[in-house]
Amino acid sequence: MRLDDTEEAMRAGRMGAARRAAIEQQIQVGMTFDAEDFVQVSQVHLMADTESLGESGVEYLEAIAALPGEERRVRVPTITDPRGIDLCAYRKLKQAERFAELERRAIAALRALGILMTDTCINYQTILPPVHGEHLAFGDTGSTIYANSVCGARSNFEGGPAALAAALTGRVPRYGCHLDGGRRGTHLFEVKERPGSLSDWGALGALIGRSAGSYWTVPVVAGIDGTPTSDELKHFGAALASYGSVPLFHMLGVTPEAPDLASVFDHQPPEPQIIGRADLDGFYAAFGRHEDRVDVVVFAAPQLSIVEMQEVARLLEGQQVHRQTALLIATSPENKSACDRLGLTETIESSGAMLLKGVCFYQMYARELGEANGWQRLVSNSAKLVNIVSGYGYRPVLATTEACIEAAVNGRM
């Protein structure tokens, strides 16, 4: 890889040990993907939940935090993905004190690096929306695919250590989504019926993700009648990235790089794969239904926008969550403050639901959480969440927002 003077200085250790280690890691990754040089980034989004970090990851952060200020501080604005513990709610959720203590240590270390603890995966809705052509280092699959596809910004998946490295160096290896050639369409899908609900959009993303199959494919979606909302594209992209490890899609007539087919394919477009209502229905049916009992209903993954929060509050108004069922709703700290101010928190919590801030369910030690509370039968409107949690010991079911609320109130489906 070609290095400029600043990169050479970092590699030589003249800008401190942390930056040297960071750029060495980045060079290894860059060479693996044939990057010729680095590209500077304007912001970093860092996934560093303590379940993923573990003790060793927190110790790694603390070692950087102990360095002198000029060696430890990030070089570009850096914000955080959801945490593993909501320190206002963990006792009620029966989460162990040792997890909270690890969380406090991680937060202290991250702050010492100058990182803004935004604790959100919907940063593109709530913090600083990416701009067309902007090079980023985003560290959540959902935020990355939204930034690339909907905003036309440029980021690869930068997992926690890689996003931290980008924060310390201010750059990333230039490959994949940073290059024009990595953004061309490879697969074509034609949607015969516009998805109706957020869970429908997630199901569509899941089906395309399964079919696309690898990080290096770029699905192009045709046939969407009417511009989707930010929340619809959020659920679609999060599921696509979750099921397919895909960082970028184009939607004809919707996303900025796809005004028409000729703009996204280098040659003749491939034959489209057709997706209709029956495919979506089949996707739901594969999860079955919890007709006897529901242990927990979860709205998360991604965290809810303020508009989703209003909808959940409207559906819950005057209702009570069943005594044998828990209802968890996760949003960003900024949206939680807005919910407090707008009266949505009161409506939601008076139903018996728990409103969590700065966390996401699958990042909250989901296995231990389920074991402590006796939760297995889970219902969610998030196709991403139901994909993840079966490995954590849950039996998940995908349902619409309305059906989720009904399940929470009735204690069954």
Partner 1 sequence: MGERRIKGHMGVGPKASGIALVARDNFSARYDLDRLQGVFSRPTHALHGQSYVDMVLVLHTAKGGVATSWMLREMKSRGMSPAALLLNIGNPIMAQGAAFAELAFMDRFEVDITEAIRSGDHVTVDPGAGLVIVD
Footprint on this chain of partner 1 (rule: CB under 8 A): 25, 28-29, 31-33, 47-49, 51-57, 60, 139-141, 156-162, 176, 213-216, 241-245, 362-363, 367, 387-388, 390-393
Q: Give the residue with the Cβ less far from partner 1, 36 or 346.
A: 36
Rounded to a whole number of angstroms, the minimum distance from the CB of residue 211 to partner 1 is: 13
> Closest by alpha carbon to 314, among 342, 284, 356?
342
- The residue among 77 and 159 lying less far from partner 1, judged by its C-beta, is 159
- In the complex, least distance from residue 409 CB atom to partner 1, rounded to whole angstroms: 29
Residue 21: CB minimum distance to partner 1, A: 9
Q: Are 288 and 258 in contact (CB under 8 A)?
A: no
Query: Residue 171 Cβ, how far from partner 1 at the closest point, in Å?
Result: 14
Nearer to partner 1, 172 or 224 (CB): 172
Nearer to partner 1 (CB atom), residue 52 or residue 263? 52
CB of 32 to partner 1, least distance (A): 5
Encoded tokens for 269: 């477009």
What size, in residues, is the chain?
Answer: 413
What distance in Å separates the CA atoms of residue 67 and residue 2, rounded to the nearest whole number?
A: 28
Single-letter amino acid code for the residue at 294: V
Of the pair 301, 309, the CB lying nearest partner 1 is at: 301
In Å, what is the CA distance from 335 to each residue of 225, 303, 315, 412? 30, 9, 18, 29
Nearer to partner 1, 51 or 311 (CB): 51
Show the DSSP H helices in 245-351 as ranges: 261-264, 277-285, 306-316, 333-342, 344-349
Burial 110-142 (b: 16+ CB within 10 A, else e): bebbebbebbbbbbbbbbeebeeebbbbbbbbb
Please, what is the minimum distance in Å from the beta carbon of residue 149 to partner 1? Answer: 17
DSSP output for 58-91? HHHHHHHHTS-HHHHS-SS-EEE--BS--TTTTT
The identity of residue 108, as a single letter, is A
The answer for residues whose C-beta is within 8 angstroms of residue 314's C-beta and 6 or more apart is none
Query: 49 or 119: whose CB is closer to partner 1?
Result: 49
Q: Which is nearer to partner 1, 16 or 57 (CB)?
A: 57
Classify residue 75 by burial, with Cβ atoms within 10 Å: 0-12, 13-18, 19+: buried
Q: How far is the CB of 215 from partner 1 (least distance, A)?
A: 4
Q: In angstroms, what is the minimal distance from the CB of 33 to partner 1?
A: 7
Q: How far is the CB of 389 from partner 1 (least distance, A)?
A: 9
What amino acid occupies position 301? A
Query: What distance separates the 2 farthest-apart alpha carbons in the chain?
Result: 65
Instruction: Give the Cα separation of 119 and 33 in Å (integer).
Output: 30
Q: Which is nearer to partner 1, 114 or 213 (CB)?
A: 213
